[in-house]
Structure 1
Amino acid sequence: MTLSFFDLFSIGIGPSSSHTVGPMRAANRVLHDLSAQGRLTDVVRVRVDLYGSLGSTGRGHHSDRAVLLGLLGEAPETVEPTQVGPTVERVLTQHRISLLGRHEIAFDPAGDLILHRRRALPEHPNGMRFRFVGADGDLIADRVMFSIGGGFVVDADELRERTPRAEAEEPYPFSTGDELLAVCAEHGLTIDQVVWANESTTRTPDEVRAGVLRVWGVMQECVRNGFGTNGRLPGGLNVLRRAPLLHRQLTVAASDALTDMDWIIAYALAVNEENAAGGRVVTAPTNGAAGVIPAVLHYYRSHMPGADDDGIVRFLLTATAIGVIIKTTASISGAEVGCQGEVGSACAMAAAGMAAVMGGTPRQIENAAEIGMEHNLGLTCDPVGGLVQVPCIERNAIAAVKAVAAARTALHFDGNHLVSLDTVVKTMRDTGADMMTKYKETSRGGLAVNVIEC
């Protein structure tokens, strides 16, 4: 396991992990590299080009704003969402930008930040090029970066490697479902215990637990904000924020046999409406799919007897194992494989986590994840207007309900099943490779062209 819980569940802002969080991190990283070389103050001009899906839907996903924030030295984990608008507006109106907050230069947004709607770099659909020019017109640095999903950014060399190197030797390495099940069987461990042991190679057990619960705290805050904020979402589609309305209905109306399902939907809507508004969210494993896991977690914590923080940790570490497998052997990037890689992955991860806290065996948990992913195969990424709103918000709500159903289905049986998790993940990867580009986060196909924007 070369990926960590803290990689897959990172704290950032909406509306997109690959289109907002990734570009912010990329801009921040290349400037810090330049500063480390002592060349930051030599820069008199910056030129940034966004390609592929970043160029096609970058305006709606706030990729342009994210680049500016990264150049200013802001990081997704610490930037204050309420200050993003005013900060960006100052750059746009003053035509000045302070690189890393230390070195101010002239900046013309019209000529220095270009979104190429019809051009893509061959290596990956989410490509960025940063060029830094000196006083004599000399090229100080020319960096190409890629946002590969979930807020992860890599350069060309790292992209070829595809998986990051582990910082420390892990006691129980795995990269596939079969390997994970073999580790559990050989050592008599649950899936969350395997991940716990691996996480503890770089952090103390107390740090692991505290970090997991901090992420859970941000998820809770996101739901509270979503329930407490009325109005319509920005971007031009005039989408009503429905989470507050549904929350009020659920707190005053008499319950029925399906009310728990309504709560799951409400939790997911709250998170994804906050994400669409640029609020603080957790990539889980991406921003576009950020509502699925928090919704199922809230259902567990608030509606299931005996739920506690130990269960929260068990849930999230189990989900981490599934996320590691999917990202290592396939992709979680909508621009690379469509929404099956985002919402499908989140559904599989949530199903596994729910099965774990319901007492499932490793094989039942693997089956739950497989069911969650299998029934999202072929899901396209076709956001209307390039915004992470339609169909993204509802899609998270339905996937959260589906995750609970997948976990319950798996637990009715002994875990033996025909299609393995590895098989369905490979199928997802192959389906994504065959999927036409217009259905992969470009807003040039599907609902994006058949829904009239009003």
Structure 2
Amino acid sequence: MECISIFDMLKIGIGPSSSHTLGPWRAAERWITELKAEDRFESVEKIQIQVYGSLSLTGKGHATDYALMLGLSGADPVTMPVADIHTIVKEIQQTKKLIFGGERVLPFDDQKDICFNKKFLPFHANGLKFEAFLKNGTKKSKKYYSIGGGFVVVEERKNAKKKRATFNTFPYPIQKGDELLEYCQREKKMISELVLINERALRNDGEIDSQLQNVWHTMLECMYIGCHTEGQLPGGLQVRRRAFEMHKQLMAKADKYDSPENWLQTIRGTEVKFRQILKWVSCFALSVNEVNASLGRVVTAPTNGSAGVIPAVLMYYMVIENHEADFKQIKQFLLVAGEIGSIFKKGATISAAMGGCQAEIGVSSAMAAGALTELLGGTPEQVLMAAEIAMEHHLGLTCDPIGGLVQIPCIERNSMGAIKAINAAELALHSDPKDAKVPLDKVVQTMWETAKDMNSKYKETSQGGLAVGVFLSDC
């Protein structure tokens, strides 16, 4: 079992999907790197990509084709200007040429060279095969699998051995919730403290803080953009952005501001009755996923489709629960959230193509619930109890996006997941974990069993549920 950093669970990338957009993008980058390492990059005359399974069935709606073109062109999803996405793609489509790895011009017709196959590969529902046609007349191909959250793997036994070796690099190797609690009890530390010690095995404190600040800045900026952008989302469903109007009403009597940071401070001075709190949490979650649906920059938490839950709950803590909260609390929250997410990834899945939306919104809600519980003074036992409660009430949640777009029901589900996370935290804080009937590890196991039993129609294929019950013409 690999050691999973919190920065594996909280990646900065481009929407709308971590498995269908960021994953293929990273796979394209990885393929180019491997071609260079094998001294084949300069010999490539033509490239073609085969897309399989869920990636094929909902790839167009999830911008998989865009991601592949951008990744093959050498664009970085973390740093590239979002405004350049359509410009680069349009140029490739019009000229029928692609600057391979940002270095070599190759012929490329996205309609012919990105091939969408409905066939599912045995290893995982999200399969990709990259093919390079070389000058000597031979062909070099490589398969990758986008397994959720931007993670990309290959089907190799030696790769599994490598991961088992890296798992032991953490001072506190954790696969299950029980192991995490055992370390906390033995060392008399909070979950965030243990996770920080593990992270120090990979990078120094300065690097940890810098990367966490980047994660938070991206989340805050994403919420800010979403709350200040009106109109319709792209894709043909004519979904109207709602965060803008909701935010406008909530801020009707607020002071002026000129930056995301000042915006946060201004929100702290607004009315905080129960209905307003519900509206704020929903507004924050909606804003992130409206940006995500528009190929904006978000943080996978643990996926793009569920990217709004954790920022919304963290923002709730900062603007409602603790007006003095600063980077110290942000760091603590993200450390705990990342660790809980990794437990679900190791014991089940964070891929909707494998487990339905319980693997995305369910996991993100559990991550947020646990993290909020520690910030509110909960014990490690209560943290895991909150995570369990949140997931327990997402079990069986299907992934059935209309038109293959990460919009309906995905955007609203983030607000539901955020509210459930807050509720789960409060329930855990007012409970004795000794009385809990369902431990976190049991709900992780149950989620995985549910995922395996779930019909493939409800696993991000747009072949069941709302995806077939509601037609594009109805929208």
TM range (shorter): over 0.9
4+ residue segments displaced more than 3 Å: 162-165, 253-256
CA drift of 1:46 comes to: 0.6
Q: Using the alignment, how far apart are the partners of 1:230 and 1:158 within structure 2? A: 49
CA drift of 1:161 comes to: 2.8
Structure 1 residue 114 corresponds to structure 2 residue 133 = no
Pair 210,158 (structure 1): closer, same or farther in 2 beyond 3 Å: farther
Structure 1 residue 264 corresponds to structure 2 residue 294 = no
Structure 1 residue 429 corresponds to structure 2 residue 428 = no
Pair 441,270 (structure 1): closer, same or farther in 2 beyond 3 Å: same
Q: Using the alignment, how far apart are the partners of 1:131 and 1:420 within structure 2? A: 46
Q: Aligned residue for 1:408?
A: 426
Pair 252,159 (structure 1): closer, same or farther in 2 beyond 3 Å: farther
Range moving further from structure 2, 363-372 or 166-175: 166-175
Question: Which string of whole-angstrom CA distances, capped at 9 and with x for unpartnered residues, describes residues 79-125 of structure 1?
Answer: 22111111011111111111101111111222211011x21111100
Q: Using the alignment, how far apart are the partners of 1:167 and 1:310 within structure 2? A: 27
CA contact (8 A) 2:21 2:62 kept: yes
SS at match of 2:61: helix
- Equivalent of 1:446, from 455, 465, 474? 465
CA contact (8 A) 2:403 2:462 kept: yes
Q: Aligned residue for 2:28?
A: 27
SS at match of 1:318: helix
SS at match of 2:141: strand
CA drift of 1:167 comes to: 7.3
Pair 152,430 (structure 1): closer, same or farther in 2 beyond 3 Å: same
Matches within 5 A, 1:24-103: 24-103=25-104
Q: Aligned residue for 2:194?
A: 194
Matches within 5 A, 1:253-402: 256-305=273-322, 306-402=324-420
Q: Aligned residue for 2:257?
A: none
Question: Which string of whole-angstrom CA distances, capped at 9 and with x for unpartnered residues, describes residues 418-446 of structure 1?
Answer: 10100001100110001011100000100
One-letter amino acid of the counterpart of residue 70, structure 2: L
SS at match of 1:148: strand
Q: Aligned residue for 1:146?
A: 145
CA drift of 1:289 comes to: 0.3
CA contact (8 A) 1:2 1:163 kept: no
SS at match of 2:425: helix
One-letter amino acid of the counterpart of residue 398, structure 1: M
Q: Using the alignment, how far apart are the partners of 2:364 and 2:167 within structure 1? A: 26
Q: TM-score, normalised by structure 2?
A: 0.93
Q: Aligned residue for 1:174?
A: 174
CA drift of 1:192 comes to: 0.4
CA drift of 1:22 comes to: 0.3
The runs of 5 or more residues in structure 2 that have no matched partner are: 254-270
CA contact (8 A) 1:168 1:202 kept: no
One-letter amino acid of the counterpart of residue 147, structure 2: I
Q: Using the alignment, how far apart are the partners of 2:337 and 2:136 within structure 1? A: 52
Q: Using the alignment, how far apart are the partners of 1:428 and 1:261 within structure 2? A: 28
Question: Which string of whole-angstrom CA distances, capped at 9 and with x for unpartnered residues, describes residues 49-92 of structure 1?
Answer: 00000000000000011011111112221222111111011111
Question: Which string of whole-angstrom CA distances, capped at 9 and with x for unpartnered residues, describes residues 150-207 of structure 1?
Answer: 0000111179739945277221111100000001011101100110000011111222
Range moving further from structure 2, 254-263 or 202-211: 254-263
Pair 3,369 (structure 1): closer, same or farther in 2 beyond 3 Å: same
Q: Using the alignment, how far apart are the partners of 1:407 and 1:149 within structure 2? A: 26
Question: Which string of whole-angstrom CA distances, capped at 9 and with x for unpartnered residues, describes residues 243-293 of structure 1?
Answer: 010001111276533211110000000000000001010000000000000
Q: Aligned residue for 1:239?
A: 239
Question: Which string of whole-angstrom CA distances, capped at 9 and with x for unpartnered residues, describes residues 399-431 of structure 1?
Answer: 100000000000001222110100001100110
One-letter amino acid of the counterpart of residue 200, structure 2: S
One-letter amino acid of the counterpart of residue 200, structure 1: R
Name the count of aligned residue pairs.
452
One-letter amino acid of the counterpart of residue 277, structure 2: D
Q: Using the alignment, how far apart are the partners of 1:235 and 1:137 within structure 2? A: 40
Q: Using the alignment, how far apart are the partners of 1:411 and 1:28 within structure 2? A: 44
- Pairwise CA RMSD of aligned residues? 1.5
Q: Aligned residue for 1:129?
A: 129
Q: Using the alignment, how far apart are the partners of 1:113 and 1:7 within structure 2? A: 28
CA drift of 1:135 comes to: 2.7
CA contact (8 A) 2:14 2:296 kept: yes
Q: Aligned residue for 1:155?
A: 154
SS at match of 2:115: strand
Share of identical aligned residues, percent?
A: 46
CA contact (8 A) 1:163 1:328 kept: no
